[in-house]
Amino acid sequence: MRFNAIRQFYKKCIVIGIYERRLHINSSTVPYHSDILKHSINKTLFAAKQILNFSKIFHVKGEAEIMSGGQIKSFTVDYNDVLEAQKDDSVLIIDVREPSEIDETGKLPGSIHIPMGDVTSTLTNLSEEDFVKKFNKSKPHNNTKIILSCRSGKRSGMVQEELQKIGYENVYNYMGGWLNWESNQN
């Protein structure tokens, strides 16, 4: 996940800062380049902190939205939420696993199957009529509640981000995905 990569980069920058302080880099230890080195390390640390702060905001925005009154609206769902959604015709559940996975296990009950790489193009390029013909469900609008599922929740989380980027405002990720669904069925 991009957030973890940024966090790792930040940690490396902190280590550089610690070594800089331990080595006591100053004009006597590095006579010709000390100011450049100190400036470079400080700029790197500052940039890393800015990236980390931005990534925290972006990461949180992807997972939750602060509503009026200070409440947090989660963009993830669990097994019980999916059970409820299956009873609601206004909610579209999309299983984004690959066809071979669907052939092996079947799709999530009540869902339509669109492979991960095809979700965005299917939702943007298919007409309302073609969508209904293909999936026997209404094509979602930007405010339609959509629940995405995959094997464990990672791929559906990536699709969630893509759909949010193109304007879908009510997209949820089923954390745990098929594995969670299957374990709750036994």
- Residues labelled catalytic: 150
Residue 2: count of CB within 10 angstroms of its CB: 11
48 φ/ψ angles, rounded to the nearest 5 degrees: -65, -40
Q: Which of 171, 123, 121 is nearest to 147 (CA)?
A: 171
Cross-strand pairs, 64: 74
Residue from 89, 70, 86, 95 nearest 148 by CA: 95
CA angle 109, 115, 178 (to 5 degrees): 40
Name the token pair of 122.
């299917």
CA distance 62 to 149: 16
Cα dihedral 119, 3, 150, 100 sign: positive
